[in-house]
Structure 1
Amino acid sequence: MKPHNIHGLSSQIFLWFWSMLLLILAVVISLPSLDPRNTIPLPPKEQLYMKQHVSALLQGAPPDQAFDLQQALQVAGLMQVGSIYVRDKEGQVQSTTPPDKFVMRFMLEVDQLTSPMIGRDHDDAIAGPFLLEHNGHSYHVYFGLNVDNPYLFLVIQILDHPVLILLVAMLISTPLCLLLAMRLTRPIQQLQQSVSQIAAGELETRIPNLDRRDEIGQLADNVSHMVETLKLMIQKQKQLLSDISHELRSPLTRIQLAQALIRRKQGDSNELARIESEIGRLDKLIGDLLDLSRAQQHVEAPGHHQLADLLDPILDDALFEANQSGKQLRVPPLPDIALRMWPELLARALENPLRNALKYATSLIEVDWTSTDQYWIMTIRDDGAGVPAEQLALLFQPFYRVDDARNSQTGGTGLGLAIAAEAVRRHGGIITADHNDPHGLLITITLPLA
């Protein structure tokens, strides 16, 4: 059994889930401690400041009378506080503004002179108590403060409504979930795009280096290794095809020489004619194999050439063959366009489909071409029997034959369209086969102008 990978997707998702859950739980638990209405110790600096106000009140109070807040304020003057509340031992309160429920509750709950506190309610705050001793009596003094905090009301609303706390948790978890989703899907999308290009035949496509140690990274590495193995196998196949073709040429030449010597000594016979026919077919097959090999292994740089110079001799030969076989070939005026090409290779790509059309057409072959800003498009139509729909995509495979009997009659090797497809691909174009209306075959060759 394969050991569990701590860097695997299952571990990542598991850890991500619990980390997010613990984070949300920590935020929800810590929210009550952030409640601005909580009573907290008054900072020492503020305590000193408030005690100065108490001293000012004490100095303003008449020494031989009971403490009177209004008289003390008249002498002490304006203080930098919102309200002042003075409570005696009996609970009687003197204040500059009538105390509300929040103030009364704070004075009842907070009465330790050694630990002045501060509490908040919306835009109001209260601090105290502070000791004021006057004329043998002790008083607790509280100071009301104005707190201008635009976010205070929002925080209080959230803490007072569980639904809002849930929304806060969702707000925290949403970007984390999106981050996890992007981490999982983005490399998969990159890999999918590369694999799609490889599936379309672009084996030079580079597999992205995801730099991951999970299953996605392993998949990318395996796909990259698979592509390299596939390219090596195809290269070996092409090399084997080329080697076989070259090796067959020497014995074939000797067979042709032996056949010529026998004819010279014994004269013509049906058997020699049959041998000559089979030698011709074998010679054509080897020639096509070599052409396919050269098309697959072209290494020299292409050059810019006029299409008219390339098409002119091909069309002249095709017109001659069409007249000899009693068929009609329609061609438009030669195009005035230059392409970046290997002339011999592209000539085979254009000539092979045209010769196929001449072979299998009943009476008419139509050649046409158009151009856009980016492409030159050539079409070849014939009015022959056509090809079954399920076999159209197979026409460009080496040695594929729609009808073996028909190919034996016409001398086909099943390599003509494969050579054309390889040559077109080397030029950065595409070649497709489709039905011609009402019957026959339509070959479309698309080549880039750049």
Structure 2
Amino acid sequence: MRRPLFSSLYGRIFAVFWLTLFLVVITLLLLPNLDPRAQHTIPEPQIFKLNQTAERISNRISAMPGELNRKLNSITRHDRHDGARVYFTTLDGEVIAPHGRNKALRNFVTIADSPEAPRQKLYGRWMMAGPFAISDNNQQALMYVGRFWREKPPFFIQILDKPFQLLLLTMLVSTPLLLWLAWAISRPARRLQQAAERVATGQFSPDPKLEQGSVEFQQAGASFNQMVQAINQMIGGQQRLLSDISHELRSPLTRLRMATALAQRKQGESKELSRIDTEAERLEQMISELLELSRMQVNSHQQRETSDAHSLWFEMLEDAQFEAEQCQKTLSYNPLQAWPISGNPNLLISAVENVVRNAIKYGDNVIQVQIVPVEHQLMITVDDNGEGVPDDELNDIFRPFYRVSTARDRSSGGTGLGLAITESAIRQHSGTIVASRSPLGGLRMSITLPLNT
């Protein structure tokens, strides 16, 4: 299908170029008619008045004795005509009166020499008009009139006379066109950028608005939406595969645990059977957490809403404080306020709760939780005074199935997926989580989340 010319980005640039060229051509065509320094016709009222002046002068010199040149010189020396000055030339353009060098008159005579079509032209501040026929019996001459131009030059003439002002005017005229062109280019580009940022945060949803604008951006938007749909299909296929695998694995695990229980009932307790049951239980927990991580990566952009820090984590911190007291440990946290947070409430609660409960589990007896706003972000810091994590492993603890070689190892019952789930939840909410050494001697987990301002 053939698209309109101006739906293309190149078409819009082409349109701006030709529109600018059109304005320049119109200006050049109009300037000669508007510029008083160019040769113009004389308005009818002024022509009538100047013809009357020429007729009066003709009547006067006809009544005067002597030669024509002497009479015309006499008139130019003694007469003033409404503040104007008159000049006389022969029909061939030779100056009769007044004598002297007058460049404006000599130039004007060469371009205006017909009494049937008198003209006028501005020379500096001196306006020349003419010619008008003067007759003395059988002799004839031409009359030109010069008067001082008291009006200010038109604005565009002042602009044209000053290059700097002309440059400013050109910029002023072209700026709206360039701004429109920049807006036409940047608007779909911003849409594409925002869509890419949404995808980076795990929101794999097509945006029909991307397929608007110029043809180039329509094609880019359509390709982007196809990519998002392909990613959705790929992730959906991965999710279905994991679900099928978990279902197939859980069935033999259930049968294995039932067989272990029957064996323990018949043969009694034994280390071997207890070990088999423990490993089967751990494997089932690992499969469950792996599925939770997969579902979180796929569906974290769903069920988003605006909440606040107090409603999200206050009850969780109260429960964690009670749990710490049962373990003979102390958990403290600062008062929470209604700092606005946008996201999936369940994931946000689960992510912070996982970090806090890890601190309770691995800390010796002191756990400190601090939640404070910093500029446009919410900073959540969880410290404990446990053994901590070696510095060279701080970045690895967020990897799935990774366990450190200290107290946080397989013997503690962990699967190595808890912090991976937490990191995924925080990342899906455009936040960050960083592990470092705590001032208390153990581990510090620092979480940042954007405030909904």
Shorter-chain TM-score above 0.5: yes
Alpha-carbon distance between aligned partners in 1 of 2:356 and 2:237, rounded to the nearest angstrom = 31
| Deviation by residue 1:71-109 (Cα, 9 ceiling, x = unmatched) | 87999x9755622223345845335x9773211332355
The answer to whether residue 375 in structure 2 is matched with residue 386 in structure 1 is no
Question: In structure 1, the residue corresponding to 2:262 is in which secondary structure?
Answer: helix
For structure 2, which runs of at least 5 residues remain unmatched after alignment? none
Partners in 1 of 2:87 and 2:337 — Cα distance? 98
Match of 1:215 in 2: 216
Deviations 1:51-77 (A, max 9, x none): 2322233344453635645887999x9
Structure 1 residue matching 2:332: 3-state secondary structure: coil
Cα separation, 1, equivalents of 2:155 and 2:205? 62
| CA deviation after TM superposition for structure 1 residue 429, in Å | 7.8
Per-residue deviation, 1:356: 3.4
Asked if structure 2 preserves the Cα contact closer than 8 Å seen for 1:54 and 1:130, the reply is: yes
Cα shift readout 1:149-186 (whole Å, capped 9, x = no counterpart)? 42369848957x9x779958975896366665565455
Shift of 1:115: 2.7
- Maintained 8 Å contact 1:86/1:140: yes
Separation in structure 2 between the aligned mates of residue 422 and residue 236 of structure 1, nearest angstrom: 19
Q: Any idea what the Cα deviations from partners look like across 1:325-371, whole Å, max 9, x if unmatched?
A: xxxx442267465788988765533342234345656x565322243
Aligned to 2:258: 257
SS of residue in 2 equivalent to 1:369 = strand
CA distance in 2, matches of 1:301, 1:171: 47
Q: 1:189-204 residue pairs with structure 2 within 5 A? A: 189-201=190-202, 203=204
Instruction: Show the counterpart of 1:38.
Output: 38
The answer to whether 1:312 aligns with 2:313 is no
The change in CA–CA distance for 1:171 and 1:293 in structure 2 (over 3 A counts) is: closer
Shift in CA distance, 343/107, structure 1 to aligned 2, threshold 3 Å: closer
Tell me the equivalent position of 2:96: 93
**Counterpart position of 2:380:** 377
Offset of residue 122 of structure 1:
1.6
Separation in 1, partners of 2:84, 2:211: 63
Q: Check 1:315–1:183 CA distance in 2 against 1; reply closer, same or farther (3 A cut).
A: same
Matched, 1:56 2:62: no
Indicate the residue corresponding to 1:442 in structure 2. 444
How many residues get paired? 432
Please report how far the alpha carbon of residue 118 of structure 1 lies from its aligned counterpart in structure 2 after TM superposition. 1.6
Identity over the aligned pairs, expressed in percent?
A: 28
CA–CA separation in structure 1 for the residues paired with 2:168 and 2:373: 57
Q: Please show how residues 26-425 of structure 1 align to structure 2 within 5 Å.
A: 36-42=36-42, 46-63=46-63, 65-66=65-66, 68=71, 79-80=81-82, 82-88=84-90, 91=94, 93-94=96-97, 100-151=102-153, 155=157, 158=160, 171=171, 175=175, 180=181, 183-185=184-186, 187-201=188-202, 203=204, 209=210, 211-238=212-239, 240-242=241-243, 244-245=245-246, 248-289=249-290, 291-292=292-293, 296=299, 299=303, 305=311, 307-321=313-327, 329-332=329-332, 335=335, 348-357=350-359, 363=364, 366-372=367-373, 375=378, 377-386=380-389, 392=395, 395-396=397-398, 399-403=400-404, 407-421=409-423
What's the offset of the Cα at 1:227? 3.1
Q: CA deviation at 1:277?
A: 1.5
Identify if the C-alpha distance between structure 1 residues 294 and 200 changes in structure 2 by more than 3 Å, giving closer, same or farther.
closer
Q: CA deviation at 1:41?
A: 4.1
Distance 1:301 1:241, change over 3 A: farther
CA shift in 2, pair 1:37/1:25, >3 Å: same
Contact 1:64 1:135 in 2 (8 A): no
TM-score by length of 1: 0.72
Aligned counterparts of 1:83 and 1:177: Cα–Cα separation in 2: 51
1:382–1:436 CA contact under 8 A, matched in 2: no
Q: Distance in 1 between matches of 2:118 and 2:22?
A: 36
> How far apart, CA to CA, are the structure 2 residues paired with 1:239 and 1:229?
15
Distance, in Å, in 2 between the alignment partners of 1:313 and 1:238 is 33
- Give the partner amino acid of 2:107: R
The alpha-carbon distance between structure 1 residues 150 and 210, as it changes in their structure 2 partners (threshold 3 A), is farther
Q: Distance in 1 between matches of 2:356 and 2:330?
A: 12
RMSD over aligned Cα atoms: 5.0
Counterpart for residue 326 of structure 1? none
CA shift, 1:276, in A, is 0.6
Matched residue type, 1:111: D
Q: 1:58 and 1:313 mapped to 2: Cα distance?
A: 118
